[in-house]
Structure formats: C-alpha cells, structure tokens
Amino acid sequence: MEKDQEAVEQETAAETIESVTGETAQAAETAAAGDSEQDLGLLLEDARSKADEHWDQLMRARAELDNLRKRQERELENAHKYALERFVNDLLPVRDSMELGVDAAREENGDIGKLLEGAELTLKLFTDVMQKYNVEQINPEGEPFNPEFHQAMSLQPRDDLPPNTVVTVVQKGYSLNGRLVRPAMVLVSRAAEQ
C-alpha cells in the first residue's frame, strides 16, 4: 500500500517538474525571441501558479490515499472482529434448545423420553449448523490409522483386526474446510503376541 502511495507521489511530482521545466523552457525561448521583461514576468508567474496547482493536487492525492488506507484498515479490523457473527447467530438456537432441555430436566415430573427426544433434536440442530460451515466430523472406527487425522492414545493387541486399525474412537476429531481442527483420539490395534 505504501509503495503504491509512494509511486503515485513520485509520478505526480515528476509531472509537476516536467510541467514547470517545459514552461521554463518555453519562457527561455520567448526571452530569446526578444520578448520584454514584462512578458517573462507573466510567464514566470503563470509557471508558479501551475506549480502551486500541481502541488495542491499532490497534497490532495496524498490525503485521499491516506483516507483510503485508514478506511481499509477499519474495514479489515471489523472483518476480523465480526467474522464469526453469522456463525454465532446460527449457534444461538442450539443454546436456546439446550437451556430448554436443562429447564425441563429440573422439573419434578420430567419425562425422560421427552428429554431424550429434545437432546436428539438439539444435537441434530447443532450438527446442521456445523455442516453449514463445512465442519466435518472425523469418526474413523474400523478404518486404518492415519496420523494426519488421528492421534493414537494406545495400542491394543488384537487378532481379529489387521495391525494399525482404529479399534475405538475415544474422542471424535473435526476438520474445517478440509483442514484439521482437532485429531480423533483413538485406540489402535497391533498384532497379538504369541
């Protein structure tokens, strides 16, 4: 951004110098042609006014670039600050549903079946929000161990599974747009000793 501003300033200054140089050369030619001192004075005054005009344009361009830079910094700061606003708005119904479930569980004659149904609906609502934002669950049970997405907690000797197979998922992992957020914590099979 600063390089762009400097380039514009240098370009504007170069134009001003060319303009003044051209006008000075014209004044010299006029003087050589035998014009009077009064004409030279008028030409010099005209060159000065044009130089002042170019200087004013340069200052305005600098101020405009500075204002543009400040506005972009504010917009970037706001983008960072409020980037998760939509995500939070989509999560609020999940929280509301969980609060209703907790309130229902505190009732003396709470129906366990209804609580379970409410919890399942809340989980589905949460899963839908996660899918909307490309958060994918990593649940590798029965799959080959992959150290890029799984973290082995321990090895279990097993004859019924090939070595390096995920036996149990202790904690599911998650990825966001294909990038790992949290690896799945797993127990992995190894060949049984004989």
Query: From CA 131, how far away is CA 144, in angstroms rounded?
Result: 24
- Tens digits of per-residue pLDDT, 143-158? 999 999 999 999 999 9
Q: What is the pLDDT of residue 53?
A: 95
Model pTM score = 0.59
Query: From CA 63, how far away is CA 12, in angstroms rounded?
Result: 13
User: How many contiguous H segments (helices) and E segments (strands) does the chain have?
Assistant: 4, 6
For residue 144, give the DSSP letter. B
Instruction: Answer whether 8's CB lies under 8 Å from 58's CB.
Output: no
**Selecting from 3.40.1410.10, 2.30.22.10, 2.60.200.20, 3.30.360.10, what CATH number does the domain 134-194 have?**
2.30.22.10
- Tens digits of per-residue pLDDT, 15-57? 766 665 565 556 556 555 555 788 888 999 999 999 999 999 9
Q: Which tokens in the block code for residue 129?
A: 């929000």
The ranges assigned to domains in the chain are 2-81, 84-133, 134-194
**How does DSSP assign 159-193, residue by residue?**
SSS-TTBEEEEEE-EEEETTEEEEPEEEEEEEEPP
Pairing of strands 173-176, 184-191: unpaired
| H or E stretch covering 37 | helix 37-81
